[in-house]
């Protein structure tokens, strides 16, 4: 029996479920609606279609989970998105925001052959430009990380990666790149002011403020 044909729109929903699940919070319809910027009725209709076709399950608590088939498709799209971002930043010199937007447009059009050649051309990268692991790439042992907002005054940390939630915020992406908050950067925490919702940070000679909510989207060690 042939697998149900899946559209690019449905692939995007599977990718969204995959990404939201990586944030260690239950994936529910309300989170999906907020992520996709659509109504709850649209989400419910889409979920019924995905469930019927065997790509997701919804448990009694209304939590959404990818099946093996759904995860396979989601990982394929995420992998092609990340490889495209690496190509656009590493070889074409695009900034993070433009690369993210272009990769979203291109990820559905890339064939298996082009994906394999991209990976070879890029010397088989293991992470996207923002430090997130590329599905299907060999990974070294994971370093234990904390959110940047949990760092304390006068602490020096190293930036590991920007979460998927951070990647989706294009204004935050641009700010982080402009201030050198990139994977591998040494970050000095000058001051944490929870009452103001702000942190003062220093990267190289650049001292600046960052909102604590934004800092939650950055992982460091």
Q: Are 131 and 179 in contact (CB under 8 A)?
A: no
Q: Has residue 181 been placed in a domain? A: yes
**Residue 57 placed within a domain:** yes
128 assigned to some structural domain: no
**Residue at which a domain ends, from 46, 66, 86:** 66
- The pLDDT confidence band at residue 1, using thresholds 50, 70 and 90, is very low
- pLDDT value, residue 158: 96
Domain final residue, candidates 16, 32, 66: 66
| Predicted pLDDT at 36 | 76
215 assigned to some structural domain: yes
Over residues 169-220, the pLDDT tens digits come to: 889 999 999 999 999 999 999 999 999 999 999 999 999 999 999 999 999 9
**Overall number of domains in the chain:** 2
Domain span including residue 27: 8-66
Mean pLDDT value of segment 29-39: 82
Mean pLDDT over 52-66 rounds to 93
The verdict on residue 196 lying in a domain is: yes
pLDDT, mean over the chain: 90
Q: Is residue 135 part of a domain?
A: no
Predicted pLDDT at 159: 96
pTM of the model: 0.86
Q: Tell me the mean pLDDT in the region 116-140.
A: 89
In a domain, 38, yes or no: yes
CATH number of the CATH domain containing 199: 2.30.30.90
Residue 109's pLDDT band (boundaries 50, 70, 90)?
very high
167 domain-assigned: yes
Region 34-59 average pLDDT: 89
């Amino acid at each position: 029996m042939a697998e149900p044909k899946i559209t690019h729109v449905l692939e995007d929903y599977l990718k969204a479920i995959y990404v939201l699940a990586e944030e260690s919070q239950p994936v529910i319809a309300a989170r999906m609606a907020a992520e996709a910027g659509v109504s709850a009725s649209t989400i419910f209709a889409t979920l019924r279609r995905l469930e019927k076709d065997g790509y997701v399950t919804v448990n009694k608590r209304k939590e959404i989970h990818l099946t093996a088939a759904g995860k396979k498709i989601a990982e394929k799209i995420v992998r092609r998105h990340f490889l495209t971002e690496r190509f656009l930043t590493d070889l074409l010199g695009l900034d993070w925001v433009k690369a993210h937007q272009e990769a979203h447009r291109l990820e559905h059009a890339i064939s298996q052959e082009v994906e394999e050649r991209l990976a070879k051309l890029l010397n088989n990268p293991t992470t996207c430009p923002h430090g997130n692991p590329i599905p299907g790439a060999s990974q070294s042992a994971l370093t234990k990380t904390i959110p940047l907002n949990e760092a304390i005054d006068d602490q020096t940390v190293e930036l590991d990666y920007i979460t998927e939630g951070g990647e989706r915020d294009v204004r935050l992406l641009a700010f982080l790149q402009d201030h050198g908050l990139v994977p591998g950067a040494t970050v000095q925490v000058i001051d944490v002011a929870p009452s103001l919702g702000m942190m003062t940070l220093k990267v190289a000679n650049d001292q600046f403020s960052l909102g604590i909510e934004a800092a939650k989207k950055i992982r460091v060690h």
